[in-house]
Amino acid sequence: MLTKRIIPCLDVTNGRVVKGTNFVSLRDAGDPVELARFYDEQGADELVFLDITASSDKRAILKDLVARTSEQVFIPFTVGGGISDIDMIRELLILGADKVSINTAAVSNPQLIFDASAHFGSQCIVAAVDVKRVSSSVAVYPIAEVSLDASSRFEVFTHGGRHATGIDAVKWAQFLTDKGAGEILLTSMDKDGTKDGYDIELTQAVASVVKVPVIASGGAGALSHISDILTVCDAALLASLLHFKELTVEQIKTHCDHMQLPIRRI
C-alpha cells in the first residue's frame, strides 16, 4: 500500500532559505541543502523547494541549488517558482530534480503543462494551484470550460494570492490533469498562515475529481490537522510548523501511524 507523504517545503531566494527558521543545531540554517538533509534524516518523504528569486540570475541560481541538493539528498525533490519553459525543466531534471512545479506559467500558458508532460512524463510535472474562496471576482479567464460560474466556490489566484484569475479551482485542477499534470499541489491562500487547519472542503472537492495525487498546503497548526487532511488526500505540505520546530517529522509520523494512516517509518 502506498503511504501518505509528509513533505517539508523550503522557500528559497538567491539560493538561501528565507522565511524564518529556528535551526540552532545546524551550522547554517540558511542553506537549503543542509535543511533538506536534516529533514531527510528525520524521515521526510519528499522535499519541495519554492524559488522566489526575482533577479535575472534565477536560472543559474536554481540550477546550482538543484545540483547541490542532488549530491547530498537521496529522497525525491520538487523544484518550483517561475519555471516557464521546456528547456529549463530539462536542465533541472538532468541536474537531479525529480519533479518541477508549475504555477503562474500554467495560467498564462496551459499548453506548457501538456508539452512538459509529453516530453518528460506526467510523473515529474506538478501543477501548483493557489486558491481563495470566491468573493466578488470580476476577473475573466479566456478558456470558458474552466471559468468561474454561479456554482463556483473556489477561485485560482496567482502572484502569491494577489491576482485573481477568474478560474474555478476545481475545474482547473481537472483541466490540468487532463493536460498531463501528474500531481496537484493545492494551496489554500485563505488558510495559509492561520494555523487553524487545512482547507478540507477545498481539498476534498479537488481530490474527488482528479485521478492524480493531491498535496494539501496551507493552514497546518496541529497534529490533528495533518491526520485529518490525509484522510482526504495523498500528501501534506508543511513549512513554518517544521521550520520553527513546533513539530518534527517524526512526531507527525508517529501521530499519523497512531491514527492508522499508512505512513513510512524509518
Is 234 an annotated catalytic residue?
no
State which of positions 126-145 bind another protein (CB under 8 A): none
Cell numbers that stand for 146 in this block:
474552466
The C-alpha cell that represents 56 in the structure block: 535575472
Q: Give CA–CA dist 144/74, Å, rounded.
A: 42
Residue 141 or 175: the one with the smaller Cβ distance to another protein is 175
Q: Is residue 98 flagged as an active site residue?
A: no
Q: Does residue number 209 form part of the binding site for another protein (CB under 8 A)?
A: no
CA distances from 157 to 104, 134, 188, 200, 214 (A): 9, 10, 10, 18, 18
C-alpha closest to that of 123 among 150, 90, 105, 100: 100
- Nearer Cβ to another protein (34/234): 234
d(CA 137, CA 149): 11
Which window, 36-44, 100-108, 137-145, 148-156, contacts another protein (CB under 8 A)?
36-44
**Is 30 or 96 the residue whose CB approaches another protein more closely?**
96
252 binds another protein (CB under 8 A): no
Q: Rounded distance, CA 115 to CA 20, Å?
A: 36
Which of 76, 85, 247, 257 contacts another protein by CB under 8 A? 76
Residues that bind another protein in the complex, under the rule CB under 8 A? 1-3, 5, 40-41, 43, 45, 70-71, 74-76, 93-96, 98, 120-123, 182-183, 211-213, 234, 264, 266
- Report, as residue numbers or ranges, the catalytic residues: 11, 130
